């Protein structure tokens, strides 16, 4: 196992140490205790909100262990994994939960099946976009009955300022506020608009992007979602917020060369229209405005992270996409076409 230049701070926050000599034995001991197998090798590591480890056990089985810092509520994790496993049992392409969340190193950890079905595709394709909208609608329909589980994360907007705490310790919004005032202003305005939506509450995935899904693309068949990751992104939220966030980022992945990285305004609107058709209801004009505001807010958050990290503002950046989106007052226009309901 190796930690790249950014990982040690994240490892300290999540695991309580950045010492690989301490981390690897803890992982193996956790698997021995809960799966009856030691770890033969680590095939994959990642650090962000949580720490992810792709593992091969002594018997050759591959599993995925995810760990969270003490700041993440165990009750919240338990409820999220109840939903994840329930959806997997119902045939939705979620990894089955093998070990439910419990104490691990500084925080908590859980083990899931290793789910490597399918591949990432270019979501600028209308067929791929529709597959993503279809699966989001299915996930919401299956997950929303669990909305009353204790501790489920709730998506809302800050009552003071533009953003709440960043998603990990690599980003310091306070220290990098200079030059980001325009982003903060857009975020505050869009948050205000997004909250005007009717309170139709669902359970949805707040990071519905190509980065977190895989698809099967069989010959002579439309692509279908074959795996969904990052289930700790589940949250109770307004439907308009979930759909707006997905519309803003569904094309995004850093694992393949997709140009542009973010969808255009027209593609965002087309994603929403696809979702409307699949769920069988049309959003009102004011709901479309709230969806556009939710999309703008999530782009502002990503833009703020880019600014904090010193990444360039180019055609692939969230900042460029954000500027283009607000150029027409954040408005989404429902596309017309034969795939939509009759006018």
- Reported as a single tens digit per residue, the pLDDT across 20-57 is 999 999 999 999 999 999 999 999 999 999 999 999 99
Higher pLDDT, 329 or 60: 60
pLDDT higher than 80, residue 105: yes
Task: Band the pLDDT of 330: cuts 50, 70, 90.
Answer: low
Going along the chain from its start, the domains and CATH numbers come out as 7-113 (3.30.200.20), 126-326 (3.90.1200)
pLDDT per residue as tens digits for the range 270-323: 999 999 999 999 999 999 999 999 999 999 999 999 999 999 999 899 999 999
CA angle 27, 99, 82 (to 5 degrees): 140
Give the Cβ contact number of residue 108 at 10 Å: 22
- Check residue 101 and give its pLDDT: 98
Write phi, then psi, for 133 (nearest 5 degrees).
-65, -40
- First-last CA distance in the chain: 57
Higher pLDDT, 333 or 32: 32
What are the structure tokens assigned to 103, written together?
């104490």
- Check residue 342 and give its pLDDT: 25
- Check residue 331 and give its pLDDT: 59
pLDDT average, residue stretch 157-172: 94
Residue entry with tokens 């018997």: 59
pLDDT higher than 80, residue 71: yes
C-alpha 293/C-alpha 192 separation (Å) is 8
Lowest mean pLDDT among 63-77, 111-125, 213-227, 248-262: 213-227
pLDDT higher than 90, residue 6: no
Whole-number Cα distances in Å, 131 to 32, 93, 137, 151, 186: 39, 13, 10, 30, 31
């Amino acid at each position: 196992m190796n930690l790249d230049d950014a990982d040690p701070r994240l490892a300290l926050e999540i695991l309580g140490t950045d010492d690989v000599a301490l981390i690897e034995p803890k992982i193996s001991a956790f698997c021995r205790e809960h799966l009856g197998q030691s770890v033969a090798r680590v095939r994959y590591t990642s650090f962000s909100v949580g720490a992810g480890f792709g593992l091969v056990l002594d018997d050759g089985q591959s599993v995925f262990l995810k760990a969270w810092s003490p700041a993440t509520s165990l009750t919240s994790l338990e409820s999220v994994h109840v939903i994840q496993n329930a959806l997997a049992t119902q045939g939705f392409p979620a990894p089955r939960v093998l070990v439910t969340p419990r104490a691990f190193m500084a925080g908590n950890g859980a083990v899931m099946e290793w789910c490597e079905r399918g591949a990432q595709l270019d979501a600028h394709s209308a067929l791929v976009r529709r597959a993503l909208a279809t699966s989001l609608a299915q996930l919401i329909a299956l997950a929303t009955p669990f909305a009353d589980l204790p501790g489920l994360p709730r998506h809302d907007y800050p009552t003071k300022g533009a953003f709440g705490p960043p998603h990990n310790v690599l980003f310091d919004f306070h220290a990098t506020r200079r030059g980001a005032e325009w982003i903060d202003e857009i975020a505050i305005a869009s948050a205000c608009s997004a909250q005007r939506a009717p309170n139709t509450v669902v359970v949805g995935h707040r990071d519905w992007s190509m980065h977190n899904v895989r698809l099967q693309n069989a010959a002579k068949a439309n692509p279908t979602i074959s795996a969904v990751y990052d289930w700790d992104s589940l949250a109770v939220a307004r439907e308009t917020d979930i759909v707006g966030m997905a519309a803003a980022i569904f094309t995004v992945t850093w694992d393949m060369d997709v140009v542009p990285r973010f969808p255009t305004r027209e593609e965002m609107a087309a994603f929403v229209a696809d979702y409307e058709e699949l769920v069988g209801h049309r959003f009102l004009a004011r709901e479309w405005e709230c969806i556009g505001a939710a999309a703008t807010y999530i782009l502002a958050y990503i833009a703020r992270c880019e600014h904090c990290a010193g990444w360039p503002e180019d055609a692939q950046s969230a900042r460029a996409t954000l500027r283009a989106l607000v150029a027409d007052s954040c408005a989404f226009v429902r596309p017309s076409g034969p795939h939509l309901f009759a006018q």
